[in-house]
Amino acid sequence: MRSYSGLFVAEGSSDLPVADLVESLFVNLGVTVHLSRPDFALLGKVPKDVRSRVAAGLKLIGGPVDLIVVHRDADNAGHHARQQEIRTAVTAVDGSAALVPVVPVRMTEAWLLLDETAIRQVAGNPRGRTRLTLPKIHEVEAVADPKDLLRDCLLKAADVSGRRREAAVKRFNQHRRQLLERLDPTGNVTRLDSWSRLVSDVERVIKTWGAAGTV
């Protein structure tokens, strides 16, 4: 079984753990993929549109890859529109690589609102009892601003005041990244439509490679 090369383009630097999640989905299906996470700062100021970042990423890692994975929140555009945006942008740069769009609805933070235990642990107060008021699984992808809700839940979980609260506010991006690193790819996230679409895209790519006789 061969190993495949890949490029991962994240919406932001705190989203880099998403690459590990995608790699784990391939491994669970018996395929090894190594996703490069290029440091765009090495090229100076790179525009944040998908086409520019994919082109810059391929330049930084020095050549073509078997797979391109692009992470982009659906936001208000919706999953379908964002997925088409990604496909159009990537095809304009490299039409030969397989593509897996990662499009959380509405934001990646929605995936992180599914594990109360992890939120309390990351907030530094695992035995806290303050009610967090997390949305139910079937409601989470309809939350208008999951980032704001996650920020609020982390502060409630920390249950601190004064300077300690101010410090907790400043650590949001760090806590968010830790939650992504702890996200269980076999847990509640599997019940979300956006995650199911991601898994389907991974399965589609593997089938394509198998049909080409490269798996």
CATH 3.30.930 applies to domain 3-105+192-211: no
> C-alpha distances in angstroms, 142 versus 13, 138, 197?
25, 8, 17
Give the per-residue pLDDT at 63.
86
| Nearest Cα to Cα of residue 97 among 17, 38, 9 | 9
Give the per-residue pLDDT at 2.
82
Structure tokens at 106: 């509405």
- Give the global pTM: 0.95
CA distance 164 to 136: 29
Taking only the tens place, the pLDDT of each residue in 112-144 is 999 999 999 999 999 999 999 999 999 999 999
DSSP state letter for 42? G
Q: Where are the domains of the chain?
A: 3-105+192-211, 108-182
Strand partners, 32: 3
CA distance 144 to 105: 10
Is-contact 57 9, C-beta < 8 A? yes
Calculate Rg over the CA atoms of the chain: 18
Is-contact 65 3, C-beta < 8 A? no
In the chain, % helix, strand, coil (3-state, to 5) comes to: 55, 10, 35
Residues in the chain predicted with pLDDT less than 70, given as ranges, are 1
Is-contact 72 49, C-beta < 8 A? no
> C-alpha distances in angstroms, 78 versus 83, 85, 142, 194, 199?
9, 11, 11, 11, 18
Give the per-residue pLDDT at 213.
76
Give the per-residue pLDDT at 114.
97
Give the per-residue pLDDT at 1.
67
Give the per-residue pLDDT at 215.
72
Tell me the one-letter amino acid at 96: S
Is the previous residue joined to 176 through a cis bond, with omega within 30 degrees of 0?
Answer: no
CA distance 82 to 84: 5
Looking up tokens 């898994």, which residue turns up?
Answer: 199
